[in-house]
Amino acid sequence: MSTLSFLLQKEFKQIFRNRSILGMIIAMPIIQLLVMPLAADFEIKNINVSIVDHDHSTYSRELTNKIAASAYFKINDYSGSFDASYEEFQTDHSDLILEIPQNFEKLLVIENEASLFLAVNAINGTKATVGSAYLSRIISGFNGNIREEWIVPAKMHKAPTIDIASKNWFNPFLNYPFFMVPGILVALVTMVGVYMCSLNIVKEKEVGTIEQINVTPIKKHLFILGKLIPFWVIGLFVFTLGLLGVAQIAYGIVVEGNLILLYAFLSLFLIAVLGIGLLISTYSETQQQAMSLAFFLIMIFILMSGLFTPVDSMPQWAQWMAKLNPVTYFIEVMRMIVLKGSGFEDLKSHFLAMTGFALLFNSWAILNYRKTT
Amino acid sequence: MADVILSKVLKTYNNPEVVAVNEVSFSVDHGELFGLIGPDGAGKTSLFRILTTLLVPEGGSATVNGFDVVKDYKQIRERVGYMPGKFSLYQDLTVKENLEFFATVFNTSIEANYDLIEDIYVQIEPFKNRRAGNLSGGMKQKLALCCALIHRPKVLFLDEPTTGVDTVSRKEFWHMLKRLKLQGITILVSTPYMDEAMLCERIALIQNGRILSINTPENIIADYPGQLYAIRSDKMSKLLKDLRAIENVSSCHAFGDFHHIKLHENHQVAQLNLVQMLNHLGHTDLELQPTSPTIEDCFIHLMH
């Protein structure tokens, strides 16, 4: 046991002497959590609309005002020619063109039917889909209003309309940081575990100190524990700083569920992630190799974890890949415990899966790590 | 009693055509200062890595201090000290911390073995709170030696300890080795420098993974066949070319300010003929004299 404590002492001494690592541990969670959630905001606002009005009628103006009044749209230009607006479209100044044809009002009144033309700039896919959906909703709302207007004077009966009231559970104001911050925190902890752990071990290989260690009677498992424990502690620290520091103070996110349950899962997750770091280090000879390999894996882990895009809307094969990704589970658990307040009963399968990952990665790494070659 | 015994040790790398250690057999006696002399890539480091249990040999067997390098690697690791050719201590720990670390790893303390390292440690003690990465080359080497000795090893393996170290520090280093030998530690040292071979008790000349000769340096020199001559003129590089073209010259290589040559016929007339021939080829200030061979000459002779 004294050997282990000595190995740990040495490891911490080295970590605390390395200013860039120390800076990473403290600054990274604070800066990333302050900056990223604000940028990674999926709420689409400021959609620029060009309106081409050939009609210049009461209805066409009413529709324009309705669009302008919505918080999502900004009227970029209002003109009488499609070509002028198309120019705006080409230069990316506007995202949508709504063309109101001549006799729009007339046709609507006489023929009970009129058409509108909507052109969508699909360079930014999300903006295009969301923007045209919002605009269609406004148009159909406008349509409904007109119909009511026509019916009400008849004073027969009130038009049958369905009014939908929705309530957002667990995040009532659809606050994006509430959704993103716990997820980004998981990404951070993953990076700390994988990068720091693998680079640290590979550095010993590169400098040659591992050779010097290997000719000593230090036992393999003690050496590995001496490497994993410090980064496990650092992972816990970074997480705590992010959750109870940044998330609570800057975003007002309070953990709904049980903190002990959350930390229990975090501990398990860190073991799995450190196992990945260890595994990478056994396959790399230089820090450059380890960095490339770790970067590749982390990109996949994070993009396929449901952090940015929901796993359910991925194709079937990608959903399977997400199932083999430990980050997916922790992001789910984070959101479930932090926002929803789920208990152990709801998370049993997650705990089971994470235990599996921890065992798999660590035993694979240990088998691959040989003191003698 | 032999402390290190190798018998037909074989090691190849990936490609079976690269034979790093080719059926090497020799033994080193207890308390001996044994040198492995050979150029870069001769297989010295592979041999050391096998003996320190870092590499597993593909064939043959080896024992260190009576323990098999494959089966009893655990016992060997407690009994040997290894100083790799590349400085491999923690650069971000101080001199004292490095030493303490390696002492603790072997379940001992600096105090318990201080007498063994005292001579060396006093030289680096003024810098004990400096990080190892900031030490000069000679200091790093002394620290590495201290760390390899701190657990009082039975056998000490030093892989090219003097490569990249200045002449004065090299001399000092060999003095330290002589003193360690007096403590009864068996020392295996490798070096590409032929002049250091004379400082060992016995040496093995190694080339391309094969042992060329094992003996005391004196005997290796005594075994050198024939008479060696040193020759020089005002045009040394032309001289080397011209000598190689002369029939009576059996071998010829550059050696410092002179070229060392061997002749098929050594008598006075043959020597005069040679000088005349070279004069004829435009060489002036010719100097030809018999000389005694060095380890380097023996090595070159054995290589061919």
Predicted confidence (pLDDT) per residue in A270-316, tens digit: 999 999 999 999 999 999 999 999 999 999 999 999 888 888 888 99
**Could you tell me the residue ranges of all domains in chain A?**
2-40+177-368, 47-154
> How does DSSP classify residue A253?
-
Last residue of a domain, one of B196, B222, B248: B222
Instruction: Please choose, from the candidates A60, A91, A59, A62, the residue with its C-alpha nearest in 3D space to the C-alpha of residue A76.
Output: A91
Whether the predicted pLDDT of B11 surpasses 60: yes
Q: Where are the beta strands (DSSP E) in chain A?
A: 47-53, 73-79, 96-100, 117-120
Mean pLDDT of the A338-353 span: 92
A110 Cβ contact list (under 8 Å, min separation 6): none
Task: Measure the CA–CA gap between A145 and A150, rounded to whole angstroms.
Answer: 9
**B19 and B147 inside one domain:** yes
Whether the predicted pLDDT of A336 surpasses 80: yes
The DSSP annotation for chain B comes to: -EEEEEEEEEEEETTTTEEEEEEEEEEEETT-EEEEE--TTSSHHHHHHHHTTSS--SEEEEEETTEETTTTHHHHHHHEEEE-SS--S-TTSBHHHHHHHHHHHTT--TGGGHHHHHHHHHHHGGGTTSBGGGS-HHHHHHHHHHHHHTT--SEEEEESTTTT--HHHHHHHHHHHHHHHHTT-EEEEEES-GGGGGGSSEEEEEETTEEEEEE-HHHHHHT--S-EEEEE-S-HHHHHHHHHH-TTEEEEEEETTEEEEEES--SHHHHHHHHHHHHHTT--S-EEEEE---HHHHHHHHH-
What SS3 state is found at A218? coil
Over the stretch B13-41, which tens digit does the pLDDT of each residue have? 877 778 888 889 999 999 999 999 988 88
Residue A153 vs residues A57, A148, A150, A158, A163: alpha-carbon distances, Å: 21, 9, 6, 10, 21
Task: Measure the CA–CA gap between B227 and B221, rounded to whole angstroms.
Answer: 12
Neighbours of B242 (CB within 10 A): 19
Instruction: Please choose, from the candidates B47, B77, B170, the residue with its C-alpha nearest in 3D space to the C-alpha of residue A212.
Output: B77
Last residue of a domain, one of B222, B255, B290: B222
Whether the predicted pLDDT of A105 surpasses 70: yes
What letter represents residue A8's amino acid? L
Whether the predicted pLDDT of A156 surpasses 60: no
**B42 and B133 inside one domain:** yes
A19 lies within 8 A of chain B by CB: no
CATH number for the domain including B39?
A: 3.40.50.300
**B255 and B192 inside one domain:** no
pLDDT at site B63 = 92
**B72 and B204 inside one domain:** yes
Q: Can you say how many angstroms the Cα of residue A59 is from the centroid of all Cα atoms in its chain?
A: 41
Q: Say whether A10 and B53 touch across the interface (CB within 8 A).
A: no
**B215 and B293 inside one domain:** no
Range of the domain at B255: 228-303
Mean pLDDT of the A7-36 span: 87
Please name the member of A2, A10, A212 whose beta carbon is closest to the beta carbon of B84.
A212
Mean pLDDT of the A178-185 span: 87
Whether the predicted pLDDT of A155 surpasses 60: no
Total structural domains in chain B?
2
Whether the predicted pLDDT of A92 surpasses 90: no
pLDDT band of residue A160 (cuts 50, 70, 90) is: low
A267 lies within 8 A of chain B by CB: no
Q: Say whether A216 and B77 touch across the interface (CB within 8 A).
A: yes
Q: Which CATH number fits domain A47-154: 3.40.1710.10, 3.30.70.2740, 3.40.710.10, 3.40.630.30?
A: 3.40.1710.10
Last residue of a domain, one of B206, B222, B238: B222
**Interface probe, candidates A215, A371, A372, chain B, greatest B C-beta count within 10 A:** A215
CB B150 within 8 A of CB B99: yes
Least confident of A142-151, B126-135, B275-284: A142-151
Instruction: Please choose, from the candidates A354, A341, A193, A371, the residue with its C-alpha nearest in 3D space to the C-alpha of residue A261.
Output: A341
**B144 and B15 inside one domain:** yes
pLDDT at site A360 = 96
Over the stretch A245-263, which tens digit does the pLDDT of each residue have? 888 998 888 888 999 999 9
CATH number for the domain including B254?
A: 3.30.70
Give chain A's mean pLDDT: 86
Q: Chain B: nearest CA to A300, how far in angstroms?
A: 33
Task: Measure the CA–CA gap between B154 and B183, rounded to whole angstroms.
Answer: 10
What letter represents residue B130's amino acid? R
Q: Which residues in chain B touch residue A372, judged by CB atoms under 8 angstroms apart? A: 53-56, 73
Whether the predicted pLDDT of A373 surpasses 50: no
Residue with tokens 């799995």: A272
Q: Which residues in chain B touch residue A4, judged by CB atoms under 8 angstroms apart? A: none
Q: Say whether A372 and B54 touch across the interface (CB within 8 A).
A: yes
Mean pLDDT of the B218-227 span: 88
A5 lies within 8 A of chain B by CB: no
Task: Measure the CA–CA gap between A238 and A246, rounded to whole angstroms.
Answer: 11
**B139 and B176 inside one domain:** yes
Whether the predicted pLDDT of A371 surpasses 60: no
What letter represents residue B155's amino acid? V
At A99, give phi and psi (nearest 5°).
Answer: -105, 120
Mean pLDDT of the B114-136 span: 90
